[in-house]
Structure 1
Amino acid sequence: MTIEFTTANIHQLEPSELVQEDRVAARVYTDPEIFEREMTQIFEKTWIWVAHESELPKPGSFKSTSVGRNPVIVTRDRKGALHTLVNRCRHRGASLCEKRRGEANGFTCPYHAWSYGLDGRLRGIPYPEGYEGVMSKDEMGLRTLRTESYRGLIFATFDHDAEPLEEFLGDVRVWADRFMKQGGGYPLKVIGTHRFRFRGNWKIQLENTTDGYHFPIVHRSWMSSVDEETAGMLSFMTDPASTCHDLGNGHSVMHMVPAHIDLDADDGSEPLQPRFNGLVAELKQGGADDAQIRKLVRAMHGTGSNLNLFPNVGLSSAFFRVLHPVSVDETIIEHVALGVDAPEGIAGPVRRERLRIHEHFQGPFGFGSPDDSEGWDRVQRGARACPEMPIMVNRGLKREVESPEGWATSHSTDETGMRAAYRMWKKMMSNG
């Protein structure tokens, strides 16, 4: 049933009624009560990306992050198992770890020195005689999240009865497998993170990853800053092979460079860009053979696709984009740069070149992310006006077709990915 938004009903409708097939009420960006429900009904009920395994390279490694607004610590214990622990002492609630990442034998609260193992178990309490007959240490370990990994991508959920991670990912796995091929035969490795805030709702950024419509408009300055060949690779607005698929469960994928969708599908006819001639020479000197060099250089700009995983991470061409909701009108974004885990003669030149490409678009002085952030800010400001006027997500609705795999498919400039995310949002916000 289609519901028209009016000044009379816009504040009475249930959150799930605010999302229609072709439009979304701006109230979903501005209502603090809706945001609170999202934190419990979405971010505490489904799989949330928390880390890449390269960030936890050995036993004792940890990373601090968040699941929704809950601070957590992702750890690798002495046996190599992964854990996600709520970063809150069970005694008086103090945070245990303020470091972004590092190595530790465990975590000790700075307030009263309760100490916990890497798996969250309570190991020690100072002056324990006051607790005799009051409680057992076995009952007071840190709260743990269910934690699973796919292809090095680590996810966690508060819902211990949630479907297995691989079922939640579904057809995303095909595209995640392809994303991982940009290591050129070597494992991908996190090499740095650019972190910033924007004054807008988290869903505005969620929409952006598979929004091809904005690219040549918002990113005109970036297009004019790169060589003609690079700009040509990303001129996908009128390419009929450039598509967007709804992969189910809110996930979607958009193709910007169809020839690079699967980096293994290489007939050798595509010349390497001359701008990488120096890199080719360095890789040869570092011991890479011609086949390895070709794979690594063709993958410099990533896989040619943006993969959006509901609700908080994008595998975006050559990097991870992670969103952390802070409040109804504030979101933290992390752009995670990737290199390869290879001998230094290969890893070093690849790391340097990929970081320069990353900085050119994603960095604080880059030509991409600052423009995106300005657009997201403006959407939030505009959403506060005329609350009965909807946000439109209807582009390409009448030209969607079903792919052979069963995916709803349209052009990369269409809003298929947004509709996929909002269908999942509507489903989850209808529960409870």
Structure 2
Amino acid sequence: MTQDVVGTAPADLVRTDRVAGRLYTDPELFELEMTRIFERSWIWVAHDSELPKPGSFKSTHVGRQPVIVTRDRKGTVRTLLNRCRHRGASVCEKPSGQVNGFTCPYHAWSYGLDGSLRGVPYPDGYEGVLEKRDLSLRRLRTESYGGMIFATLDEGAEPLEDFLGDARLWIDRFMKQGGGYPIKVLGRHRFTFRGNWKIQLENTTDGYHFPIVHRSWMASVDAETADMMSFMTDPECTTHDLGHGHSVMQMVPEHSDLDADDGSEPLQARFDELVAELSRSIDPPGVRKVVRAMHGTGFNLNLFPNVSMSAAFFRVLRPISVGETQIEHIAIGPDGPPELDAVNRARLRIHEHFQGPFGFGTPDDAEGWDRVQRGAGAAPEMPIMVNRGLAREKPSPEGWPTGHVTDETGMRAAYGRWKAMMGDD
């Protein structure tokens, strides 16, 4: 158990029950990950609600490459490389907004919302040497499912729906937390931690750490919420390997499909005032749907390699270097009539309590991730173990490899995909 994983090729560094410790610390491996994984995978870039009308845009990254996600005049969502075709300057530095197009601040080359080159100052110097139609901003393949927008630098990548595979069922379920309404982004915050991106990727479907790392949060909530999250010994709480590196961890199975409600579960007493406020304008079944979904869904869905749909928020990771990762937490809520403003205010307070920068969950998680990175630098011959629950893993009726919620099934799923992509020359 103290021997490192045998082999030097990237694909040799992953076994079923362990991975080489240098997966967290080797700069050369990190560079390969950026080209073989982040430039070949479908990368989540936006939610549909962030681009509400033509001219809406959002700046983000695909791997380490800066991009702009826009909705053009025809309503088509585009992902454009944020690099002027003239001398390489970025054409947009704002995180989001509403524009008619993009103009490079260096020499004022201007581009449409679809990336086409519209204008060049003093064009007489370009007679016979420039064709505007040949110099659009580079467009990335962009596809969406369930309001989740993905882009890829690989023109030969499989269709998005094939890439998502059986995860589509869980995306559909996640979107039901709008209580009959679509969901929308409510707000976000970003932070960086001093660790490798895969440390965070592992965390989302790691139920084993929850009562240990988050015991201060457990002590801060009401008894009903704490009881709902007491999943450590419940055999019905499981983690599924969904294929393609994706996995789902069910902490509260009875909330996995929010439409499956026989009416017997009482609404939490902490929401009594909210129920009374909503009942003045919404019928009882509608109130029950939105209030029952206040904590989101009962599962965390991990979509390899960069986004998770975690209970009631999106968590997005962006690798910066082998030892630094940016995390974005995005709060979501129902997109409906003004009466739901009270619901979204309450959802934001719940989000802040755990995921927020001054909440209980995020600082504790980030401390754990930092420690893993520091410790991984010691005894480089020692592997990282991902063998919990391996002997009791069984196929579900759907054929998904399935373990207990505390097992490392999700990590094995992600590293299986990592191994396949890193070994693809």
The bucket for the TM-score relative to the shorter chain is: over 0.9
Give the 5 Å matches for 1:101-116: 101-116=96-111
**1:157 Cα deviation from its structure 2 partner:** 0.4
Check if 1:209 corresponds to 2:200: no
Is the CA contact (8 Å cut-off) linking 2:46 and 2:148 kept in structure 1?
Answer: yes
- 1 CA distance for matches of 2:322 and 2:199? 11
Matched residue, 1:266: 261
Question: SS of the residue aligned with 1:247?
Answer: strand
- 2 CA distance for matches of 1:126 and 1:194? 38
Which of these residues, 351, 363, 369, is aligned with residue 344 of structure 2? 351
**1:135 Cα deviation from its structure 2 partner:** 2.4
Which of these residues, 301, 316, 320, is aligned with residue 295 of structure 2? 301
- 2 CA distance for matches of 1:288 and 1:99? 39
TM-score (norm 2): 0.99
**1:90-129: CA deviation from partner (whole Å, max 9, x where unpaired):** 1111111111110011000000001111111111111111
Give the 5 Å matches for 1:404-419: 404-419=397-412
Give the 5 Å matches for 1:114-153: 114-153=109-148
TM-score (norm 1): 0.97
Identity %: 73
Q: Which amino acid aligns with 1:371?
A: D
Matched residue, 1:331: 325
Which of these residues, 286, 304, 323, is aligned with residue 292 of structure 1? 286
Matched residue, 1:279: 274
Check if 1:195 corresponds to 2:162: no
Matched residue, 1:179: 174
- 2 CA distance for matches of 1:66 and 1:278? 41
Which of these residues, 308, 312, 316, is aligned with residue 318 of structure 1? 312
Which of these residues, 397, 400, 414, is aligned with residue 421 of structure 1? 414
Report the count of equivalent residues. Answer: 425
Is the CA contact (8 Å cut-off) linking 1:65 and 1:73 kept in structure 2?
Answer: yes
- 2 CA distance for matches of 1:132 and 1:32? 46
Is the CA contact (8 Å cut-off) linking 1:246 and 1:408 kept in structure 2?
Answer: yes
**1:220-249: CA deviation from partner (whole Å, max 9, x where unpaired):** 000000001100000000000000000000
**1:352-402: CA deviation from partner (whole Å, max 9, x where unpaired):** 000000000011110000000000000000111111100000000000001
- 2 CA distance for matches of 1:283 and 1:349? 8
- 1 CA distance for matches of 2:381 and 2:159? 39
Check if 1:39 corresponds to 2:26: no
- 2 CA distance for matches of 1:342 and 1:260? 22
- 1 CA distance for matches of 2:371 and 2:339? 45
**1:3 Cα deviation from its structure 2 partner:** 12
- 2 CA distance for matches of 1:27 and 1:410? 26
- 1 CA distance for matches of 2:315 and 2:403? 23
**1:126-149: CA deviation from partner (whole Å, max 9, x where unpaired):** 111111122211111111110001
Q: Which amino acid aligns with 1:299?
A: A
- 2 CA distance for matches of 1:294 and 1:310? 33
**1:6-25: CA deviation from partner (whole Å, max 9, x where unpaired):** 7xx6xx71111111110011
**1:37-79: CA deviation from partner (whole Å, max 9, x where unpaired):** 1011000001000000000000100000111001100000011
**1:5 Cα deviation from its structure 2 partner:** 2.0
Question: SS of the residue aligned with 2:168?
Answer: helix
Matched residue, 1:231: 226
Is the CA contact (8 Å cut-off) linking 2:4 and 2:21 kept in structure 1?
Answer: no
Which of these residues, 237, 247, 257, is aligned with residue 252 of structure 1? 247
- 2 CA distance for matches of 1:379 and 1:215? 16
Is the CA contact (8 Å cut-off) linking 1:47 and 1:156 kept in structure 2?
Answer: yes
Is the CA contact (8 Å cut-off) linking 1:255 and 1:305 kept in structure 2?
Answer: yes
Q: Which amino acid aligns with 1:321?
A: R
- 1 CA distance for matches of 2:277 and 2:140? 44
- 1 CA distance for matches of 2:38 and 2:60? 14
Matched residue, 2:384: 391
Q: Which amino acid aligns with 2:50?
A: E
Matched residue, 2:4: 5
Q: Which amino acid aligns with 2:303?
A: L
Is the CA contact (8 Å cut-off) linking 2:3 and 2:383 kept in structure 1?
Answer: no
Matched residue, 1:378: 371
- 2 CA distance for matches of 1:289 and 1:57? 28
Question: SS of the residue aligned with 1:30?
Answer: coil
- 2 CA distance for matches of 1:183 and 1:117? 34
- 1 CA distance for matches of 2:201 and 2:84? 32
Q: Which runs of 5+ in 2 are unaligned?
A: none
